[in-house]
Each structure stands twice: as C-alpha cells, then as structure tokens.
Chain A
Amino acid sequence: MAWAGKILRVNLTEGTCKSEPLNMEWANAYLGQRGLATKYLTEEIDPKVDPLSPENKMIMTTGPLTGTCASTAGRYSVVTKGALTGAIACSNSGGFFGNEMKNAGWDQIIFEGKSPKPVYLFIENDKAELLDASAHWGTSVWDTEEAIKHNHGDPQIRVASIGISGEKGVKYACVVNDMHRAAGRSGVGTVMGSKNLKAVAIRGTKGVSVKDPKRFVQATNDAKKVLAENAVTGEGLPAMGTQVLMNVINEVGALPTRNHRDSQFEGANDIGAEAMLKERESDGKPNLVTNAACFGCTIACGRISEIDRTHFSVAERPEYQIISGGLEYEAAWALGAATGINDIEALTFANFICNEQGLDPISFGATVGAAMEMFEDGVLTTKETGGIELTFGNAKALCDIAELTGRGEGFGAEIGLGSKLLCEKYGRPELSMTVKGQEFPAYDGRGIQGMGLTYATSNRGACHLRSYTVASEILGIPEKTDPLESDGKAGLVRAFQDATAVVDSSGMCVFTTFAWTLEDFAPQIDAACEGEWTVERLLEIGERIWNLERQFNLAAGFTGKDDNLPARLMKDAAKTGPAEGKTSGLDTMLPEYYEIRGWTPEGVPSNETLSRLGV
C-alpha cells in the first residue's frame, strides 16, 4: 500500500520498457524517493562511472505518499550520479508531474543506456513507450511541453523535460516539469541529455491506495491543521514566499555578495519580497502577480510574476511578456546579490530563461559571479566573453549571458562549465565558491556557521537543502541557536541531515518542516504504509540514507579532504555586519561531526556504524 509496487525499467539503448516489482525489502529500509532510488542506483552502477556515459543510470522516483491527499504530497526526485559534481545527485521537484507518475502506477522509472536518437517516454497508466523526439530536440522546455500536450491532444498530460542547455551539456542543466518547477541541482538534466532523452510525458488516472484510509484521512487532516495554524506555513510563506529572506539574511550579514567578496548587499531591498510587491512607475503593477501551490499543497509559497513590459529585456520580445514562475529566494540571490545586480526585472527575465532552457539558477548565477570577478581582475576580457562587459552590477550582461548559456552558445558554453571548471580553466581555482564542484546557495558560512558545515558535508555538493540550519540559527525553528557560534553545530547539522533525508523520501515537501516535526510525519506515513512507522524508525532510515550516500561518494573517489570550504570562507574574514572579523569554524566543527556520525577521523563510516544501520 502507498507504494505502487512497480518499477518501470527503460533501456534506452535497446528501446525497451519493462515493468518489474518494487523491491519491498529495500522500500522498508529506505522508505521511497531519495532513499530508495539511491539504494537502487548504488546497487546497479559502479560509482566510478562517467556521469555522462551510458553506464550511468537516471532514476525518476516518487515517495510512498506522493499522489495521496497529504499536504504537499506531489514530490518526485531525480537520482543519478551528478554531471556537475561526480557525486550522488538527488534533485527534488514539486509541481504536478510526481503526482501524475504515481497515479499512473509507478514508484520509479529507471533509465539505463543511451538512445541512438532523441526520444521521449510516454506513459499512459500501465502503457509505456519510447517515441521519436527529433522534432523537439533543439527546442526549449516550454516549447517541448506545449508540443507534446498538443500532439497527444491531452492538456492534462504532465511533462518533465530538458531544455537546450541539457542537450548541449551545460553542467548544471535541470529537469523542468510544469513549465517552471525543477529538479534543479547537480546537473541531473545534463545526464538526461547525455542519454538522448528529451522528455517524460505522463497521464495517470489509477489513484493511490493507502493501508488505512480512514486513519490516513484523519492523520493528514490533523497535519494540515498544524500547517494552517502555524504563522510561517499558514501566513508568512503564502504571502511573501521564500523571497522574504533577502532582507533577513542581509541584515544578519550572511548574504553572499559579488562572489562572496562581501556578505551584505546594498541592493538587497531592491530584489527581495518587498520589491516584488512594489507598484512600478511604468505600469502601476507589481512584479508579483500571485502566489501558487504545487499538487496538494496547503502552503502555496510559489511566486508567479510578470516582467515590466517596458524593461529592456522584454520591450521588443512579446514572447516574454507573460506571466510565469517568478523569483524564489535562491534564484534572486544567485542572479542578484552574487552578481551585484539590483534590477529585479532583469533578474526575473534571467529566471524565465533558466526555466525555459532548464538551467539551475543557483549554479548559473554563482558561476556568472565568479566570471565577473575574473573579468574585473582582468583574467577575462571582452575577447573571451564575446564583447560582453561582464562587470558586477551589469544587468544587461546577465540577461545576455543567460540566453547564451541556455542555448550553450558562445561564452555561455563556458559559463555552462560551472564555477569550478571555469575558474580552473582560467587559472583562478580559488575564486570558485563550491564544494564537491557544486556552487554555494544563498547563505554565507561565516555569518551562519552551521551552513558552512552543511555545505562542506553535503553529499551532493554545496547545498542548503541537505540540512537547513538557517531555520534554527536565524529563524528560531524549532529553537533558536546563535548563528555566529560554531559550538554545537555538528549535532544540529547531523539532526537536520537525517530528518531531511526522511522527508525527501516520503513524497512530501521539506517546507512543511517549518511547522511539522517527524512527530507529524510519522502518523501519516504509518497510516499509509504497511508495517509500523515510528519516529525512531524514520530517524534510523534518515541516518541509513545519509550513510549510503556517503558510501557512494567514497566509492566514487571522494575523501574527507573534499569536506572543505574555499579559502575565502576559511581565511578571509567577513568585512561587515554581525559576522565582521569572522571566518568559518569548519576546522573545529568537522572532527566533532565525524565523531557524532560514527565515522573515522578521516570521514569514513566505521564498520560498526554501517553494520548497525545495515548499509
């Protein structure tokens, strides 16, 4: 129950689609989605495989509660060896695609091999077939999604696809579903492109059954009440979205600015939630049109925006004078503060391009920031950039380079390498603000100490969503800790990591954790899934998943030395704000973290830990 009990195995080399039963022993040990797909990947590929070779596999995976009436239960993930990092990759997306996949009766779709020509997978409940995608190759996510729905004559089909960036090998290409929701990080779309797989289109009408329907409805209603009555999930997020953080993080002195040279941005108030609500002089309308919800979500934090039609980016481009997915905090930070640009309309345009062509806006914006620093240092000139004045604060340059990167053309192809490879290519590796090859998101590890440890130890490379200690250190959820203090952060990070691994494996959204604890998840999972699902069992599963991911990375060639931060965060003190004079305390946090994890001083899970967890 809850699990559909079926996996679709798609061999792209041979052009076959076969159904097989879900391994329930693994489902009981790893729950679903992130955990379960990681187990399959670990069992089925050599971790040393080239991420872009046919030997790598890509798994689209739902959680047991995906497609049910639980709040936010529309999530799916894409699990593979990441093109950007060479590490385990798991990128989670909302929208409506995950629900459709589950309602078609599939827990996972495992893609293996490489198609000799561009194809897309079409699923209608039990029926699955690979269809010719040559007409869609070379087109954007937006065009592909529209064309597939049109060709099948069914607007209710849900589509997840890659843009031109994924076809061209941009290292941080996303898989985008429902026009503007994305499995965004680590280059999962690049892997999809390497397999000549343009899209997955699904229509599912079978429904999802649960173990005890009456108890499940009661448990999910109780949990929805908690979300509705919580001031953050009931009021704050729907009204202001994640973008409300822009001024918060700037005030606490942890808003990485101009490639982390600074930790406060003078233009923060021009690009945050308050700016999105401001009426424009040109048309009297705000950038924000409305909020929006993914499948089954009772929070509705999404932003839907419209660019000022007189803005230079769209004035002559009616195709972008539309209402579409707007700026979320991470995108606004990467496209704005990281590049020193305070033009919210330009950021919205660049964000539209990221959605249209399937670019991770975090890695894209952060890479542009690194390139801007090299440009200002004279390492890059207009000769390399094709005439673009890539200076900090240049909004026109950002818009131009977004379009080039989206199409993998000109200097955009170089920006598409990601910050690490780009900075190495031009002899300035120290300017890459990355861990394990993945760009930092929107929090400075000097001003929020727990986030430095979070980035250093994240299994998929620098990431805020693996242990969002900002909740505790800044927002006081579940309890307030001091962001400038490194003591006690090892335990905090570990607790967030394990709990988040559970949420990411359930089919529900991590944003519920601003109101829910595992005490709220457990009754919903227990009512839906066969067996007994307690908080203790879920926590053990979270720890098991974390250790399994770690084992994959170690087998892929990573070591404890990769649990590191750039010298800029370790040696260069923050210049302003509350963190002025501070560097990251990673050196003291990391050994304690290894010990708490039951790992050796070199960062290797001990035999005792692995044995206890059954990894």
Chain B
Amino acid sequence: MQMTLKLFASLAPFMPEGAKDNAVQIEVDEGTTINQVFDRYQVPHKMAHLVLINGIYIAPADRATRALVEGDAVAAWPPVAGG
C-alpha cells in the first residue's frame, strides 16, 4: 500500500532518494508499523521525538504497534521548539 513519509529538521538526511520538500511516497506492506518504517530508512528511534500520523500525535509507546493504513502520512521531527 502507498503512504507518505515526511522527515524534517535533522531527520531530513534519512529521506530516501526521490524525496521532494521533505516528503516521499513509499510502498509498504499492510500492517506495517511506524517503527518498521523508521527502521527501513535507518531513522534512529530516539531521534524521532515528535511523530504524527495525519497530524495526530503518536506516543512513543504506540509506535511499535500502531499499524499504518493506505494513504497515511507519517511525519517526524527530532526534539524541536520555537515561539
């Protein structure tokens, strides 16, 4: 199935080739979890501090179990802040 992976700030270098504007469409198996997507692109779990699916926050404890569905957009950042 198709999903979108978005990696920002210091996670951007982990993006695969073909990414544009910090986003890339990827093909994953049904039932793939967030952590499995991160593993595929060698994104250190510890660096993925803020993780959203379709803009909704996913707590660290749920990232190993939350199964992605067709069309999901996963976005991740290292620890960041602003104001």
Contacts and interface: CB of A to CB of B under 8 A. Distances in A.
Interface of A: 230-233, 235-237, 239-245, 247-248, 251-253, 269-270, 273-274, 328-330, 464-465, 468, 470-471, 474-477, 480, 482, 510-511, 514, 577-578
Contact of B80 (A236, A464, A480, A578): A236
B12 A243 contact: no
B83 A244 contact: no
24 contacts: A230-B79, A231-B49, A231-B78, A233-B81, A235-B79, A236-B9, A237-B80, A241-B82, A242-B83, A244-B82, A247-B22, A251-B52, A252-B55, A252-B57, A269-B22, A274-B8, A274-B9, A329-B82, A465-B83, A474-B57, A475-B50, A477-B81, A511-B81, A578-B54
Given A237-B82, A251-B75, 13 more contacts: A232-B79, A235-B10, A235-B79, A242-B81, A244-B8, A244-B82, A245-B80, A245-B83, A270-B21, A328-B82, A464-B83, A577-B55, A578-B55
Nearest to A243: B82
Contacts of B55: 251-253, 577-578
Nearest to A273: B9
Interface string B41-54: 00000000110101
Contacts of A245: 80-83
Given A232-B80, A232-B81, A239 B52 contact: no
A244 B56 contact: no
Contacts of A253: 55
B79 A236 contact: yes
Contacts of A480: 57, 59
Nearest to A252: B55
Nearest to B78: A236
B52 A244 contact: no
Nearest to B23: A269
A253 B78 CA distance: 19
Nearest to B56: A578
Scoring B9, B10, B80, B82 by chain A CB atoms within 10 A of each residue's CB, the highest score goes to B82
Nearest to B10: A239
A157 B29 CA distance: 64
Contacts of A239: 9-10
Interface residues of B, number: 23
A244 B21 contact: no
Contacts of B75: 247, 251
B38 interface: no
A11 B9 CA distance: 50
A475 B81 contact: yes
A273 B9 CA distance: 7
Contacts of B54: 578
Contacts of B10: 235, 239-240
Contacts of B56: 578
B19 to A, nearest CB: 11
Contacts of B59: 480
Contacts of A274: 8-9, 12, 22
B61 to A, nearest CB: 12
Interface string B1-23: 00000101110100000000110
Contacts of B8: 244, 247-248, 274
A244 B80 contact: yes
A468 B83 contact: yes
A458 B75 CA distance: 32
Contacts of A235: 10, 78-79
Contacts of A470: 83
Contacts of A269: 21-22
Given A247-B8, A247-B22, A251-B75, A237 B81 contact: yes
A482 B56 CA distance: 9
Contacts of A511: 81, 83
Contacts of A233: 81
A242 B79 contact: no
B80 A475 contact: yes
B33 to A, nearest CB: 20
B65 to A, nearest CB: 18
Given A239-B10, A480-B59, A514 B81 contact: yes
A237 B49 CA distance: 14
Contacts of A577: 55
A577 B54 CA distance: 7
Contacts of A482: 57
Nearest to B20: A269
Nearest to B21: A269
A216 B10 CA distance: 35
B83 A510 contact: yes
Given A252-B55, A269-B21, A578-B55, A471 B81 contact: yes
Given A269-B21, A577-B55, A231 B79 contact: yes
Contacts of B22: 247, 269, 274
Nearest to A253: B55
A60 to B, nearest CB: 23
A321 B67 CA distance: 50
Given A269-B21, A274-B22, A248 B50 contact: yes
Of all A-B residue pairs in the complex, the 10 with the closest CB atoms, nearest first, are A242-B82, A231-B79, A245-B82, A578-B55, A244-B80, A236-B80, A514-B81, A269-B21, A232-B81, A329-B82
A252 B83 CA distance: 16
Nearest to A510: B83
B76 to A, nearest CB: 10
Given A236-B9, A269-B21, A273-B9, A248 B83 contact: no
B14 to A, nearest CB: 13
B34 to A, nearest CB: 15
Nearest to A233: B81
B7 to A, nearest CB: 10
B81 A252 contact: no
B16 to A, nearest CB: 16
Scoring B6, B50, B52, B57 by chain A CB atoms within 10 A of each residue's CB, the highest score goes to B57
Scoring A237, A240, A477 by chain B CB atoms within 10 A of each residue's CB, the highest score goes to A240
A475 B75 CA distance: 14
A547 B24 CA distance: 50
B66 to A, nearest CB: 16
A233 to B, nearest CB: 8
